[in-house]
Amino acid sequence: MNWKNSAKTKTGILIVMLLLTAALFFSGCAPVEELASELKGELGMEGSETPLTEMVQEEETEIDEEDFDPWARFEVGSGKVAGFDLSNNTYYDKEVVTEEGESEPSDKEDKEDKDKKEGETASEDGASYEYSDEKNYCFSLLNADEKKVYLQIFNCFMQMSENVELATFNTEVVDKCFNYVMLDHPEIFYVYGYKITVTKRGEEITRLGITGRYSVDEDERRLREDAIEAKVNDILKEAPETDDEYKKVKFAYDYIVGHTDYDSNVEDNQNIVSVFLYGRSVCQGYSMAMKYLLDRMGVFCTLVYGRANNDNHSWNLVRMNGTYCFVDATWGDASYLDIVSGTQREKINYNYFGANDEILFNTHLISSPAPVPECTSLDQYYYVKEDAYFTSVDLDKLHRLFNKYRMNGTPTFTIKCSNKDVYEEFVAELLEGNRLFEFYEGVTSANYKRDNMEYTLTFNV
């Protein structure tokens, strides 16, 4: 127990000790104490201790970074919220966190009026940040009190502050808001977790303070931010000038899949640094980079966590031309058998580009910290948009696709069948019935690839 007091003489120390002893004897109360505990968010690990300024008993629990599982708290399940209303964000509560870690209103306007305002901005290192549902889906899900905590955490991380006081005594609210900040802000790549300090007097919590776990110092952060900004600006120079959000999302998807190799050993593989600066990452890096690019392009996007093939996984929920659907860039970066040379090569896979619930839940389970809306439509699904989705055997339509890709000079293309029955009918008609040769001239053999799980057929044109 570390006791701190300001007495400057032995007499003063003796008086303080006598007073404390008397108080404890007559009241039976526990001494004033502070429990400094480590609360892991979904990305939280360990870090330095914030000095205390009161007379306290201090206890700290450390979380081992190597043993930390960011998905451990998530319960595997659908995680769906039927009919979820995405128009919930009707105002923005403005709160500025000072460098001393105290939370105070940013101006003198009446709080009740301030709570009803729309489109206000938060302090971001002296700049302004406009909150909107397009970039800040998770923020829009919170109630008024939770939004205050979210903004305090956001400002703490942007300023790389320590022990910032929060407007709640509920550590579960802090955990929720931390995760929502990280889901909304892929640009905060330098935070990998947080430490919460709980101050108590007896059994009563009097203060919660948060400190970010920062992976780099401020100078290194700025260098990486500048490098990412330069890289993304170059990428966006090639972006299509269109209002068609399908084309925008496909551009971001094609770029990330085409320029990133899956590598679980690369540094910073849980954030955008690994994608934009190293060209190697894992699922969270892919999905964070998708959100970062689509935020810049003005397209709604958020992250979704869960499991796929019995492994932890993350992907994106997007809104394309008014339709909510799923995009999994990691699963788009697959090795395909080159049906021309017979060798392995990288090829973009679109099986989970614009997928609805029915398609996604064949292989994915959602266990995300934030609820997601139902995704029932396929009108932005890649195979539907490219006229390569078959609900029945249609050889005339298949002929048109062969001709289209021959004219484009595309060596291969893939079709997807809506279900197992249609797929098996195609296999029987084309492959077992040898009608595939009707699509080729002057050849005695044809190359194709079957996927009995995804109900796809890939053809060499």
The pLDDT tens digits of the residues spanning 366-396 come to: 998 999 999 999 999 999 999 999 999 999 9
Q: Which residues contact 362 (CB under 8 A, 6 or more apart)?
A: none
| Distance of alpha carbon 69 from alpha carbon 321, whole angstroms | 36
- Domains defined along the chain, listed by start: 32-215 (no CATH), 217-382 (3.10.620), 386-461 (no CATH)
Q: Is the pLDDT of residue 13 over 50?
A: no
| Distance of alpha carbon 150 from alpha carbon 89, whole angstroms | 14
Q: Which residues contact 407 (CB under 8 A, 6 or more apart)?
A: none
Q: Classify 422 as helix, strand or coil.
A: helix
Q: What is the pLDDT of residue 146?
A: 96
Q: What is the pLDDT of residue 435?
A: 87
pLDDT range class, residue 442, cuts 50, 70, 90: low
Report which secondary-structure segment, H or E, holds 3.
none
Q: What is the pLDDT of residue 431?
A: 81
Q: Is the pLDDT of residue 397 over 90?
A: yes
Residues found in the chain? 461
CA distances from 200 to 28, 326, 376, 386, 428 (A): 17, 44, 48, 61, 72
Name the DSSP letter for residue 419: S
∠ CA 387-414-238, nearest 5°, is 75
Residue entry with tokens 């397209």: 299
Name the DSSP letter for residue 171: H
pLDDT in tens, 97-114: 222 333 333 343 343 343
pLDDT range class, residue 131, cuts 50, 70, 90: low
CA-wise closest residue to 272 among 245, 303, 241:
303
Q: Please tell me which residue, 8 or 244, carries the higher pLDDT value.
A: 244
| Distance of alpha carbon 250 from alpha carbon 255, whole angstroms | 8
Tell me the sheet residues that pair with 197. 209
Please, are residues 6 and 54 in contact by the beta-carbon 8 Å criterion? no
pLDDT in tens, 184-240: 999 999 999 999 999 988 889 999 999 999 999 999 999 999 999 999 999 999 999
CA-wise closest residue to 111 among 73, 76, 63, 144:
144
Average pLDDT over residues 141-155: 96
| Distance of alpha carbon 293 from alpha carbon 299, whole angstroms | 9
